[in-house]
Amino acid sequence: MNSFCVLTASMYLTTMKTLKLLLIVIATGVLATGAARPNPVGQSRPTYTLNEQKYLPALERELGIHWPDVLVRSYFAAQIRQETCASLTHRKCWSPEAELKTSREYGFGLGQLTVTPRFDNFREAKKLHTSLSDWEWENRYNAAYQLRTMILMNRFNYGKVDWAYDHTERFAFSFAAYNGGLGGVLSDRSVCRASDICDESRWFGHVERHSKKAKLAASGYGKSFFDINREYVRRVMLEYPSRYSFYFGEQDLCFCLQ
């Protein structure tokens, strides 16, 4: 069975840095379903865009305050890229003023906080922390508030999926919930539960393949909500994090499926 693995880059356990990483991985159980593999050889530090240079320190600061013991910080930078970047060179990439407007919803900011006729995540965000209680709509492009909200929403979802197989699967469920709602995750899990070959505690290869979400392309999106949700998790956890691992000192981690 496939399982996402975050692994040490070197087999030379004599160095203090590698030993520290190994202890962290073992302590959190991330190695429970994987085998050690190195980070790809020859990977170099990327050149960050001006917006990335501007807001990566802000993201690091907010994580340090509101989720200091989070296991992998690169995920959240990857999430911002997924939420805001049509491409890394797009002017709205990593911009607090990034917006999505469709007939169904309005999303804004680094975490694309969403407002629809059915629900208002901006109003709900103000309940997440006392420092957000006076956040006004006119000030919705405040980058610090946006980052704080994104982190707190992810942390809330992470806390709600403590039945996941391990920390990696737990992150997957929480990011799926950020994109498609916690109710959607629970619904997909129930579909998985009805299958004899699906493990409802695992996202990758299991719950990700089962859903009641529409599989036809949605107007204004170009993809189905099922495809959007599944692509979201894989980009945030597998495709995009390595770019930011250098910034967060996580370049010895491998973001991969085995």
* pLDDT score for 221: 76
Tokens 């692509």 appear where?
231
Q: What is the CATH number of the domain that holds 253?
A: 1.10.530.10
Bridge partners (DSSP) of residue 108 are 99, 113
* pLDDT digit string, tens, across residues 66-110: 999 999 999 999 999 999 999 999 999 999 999 999 888 999 999
pTM for the model stands at 0.83
Residues 31-55 have a mean pLDDT of 67
In this predicted structure, what is the pLDDT of residue 66?
A: 98
pLDDT digits (tens, 9 = 90+) for 179-205: 999 999 999 999 999 999 999 999 999
- Find the mean pLDDT for residues 248-258: 86
pLDDT confidence tier of residue 258, bands split at 50, 70 and 90:
low
Alpha carbon distance 170, 54 (integer Å): 30
Indicate the pLDDT class of residue 29, thresholds 50, 70 and 90: very low
User: Residue 191 is part of which domain span?
Assistant: 4-257
> DSSP labels for 54-89?
HHHHHHHHHHHHH-TT-S-SHHHHHHHHHHH-SSTT
Rounded Cα distance, 242 and 220, in Å: 30
**Sign of CA pseudo-dihedral 244, 5, 198, 186:** negative
Q: How many domains does the chain have?
A: 1
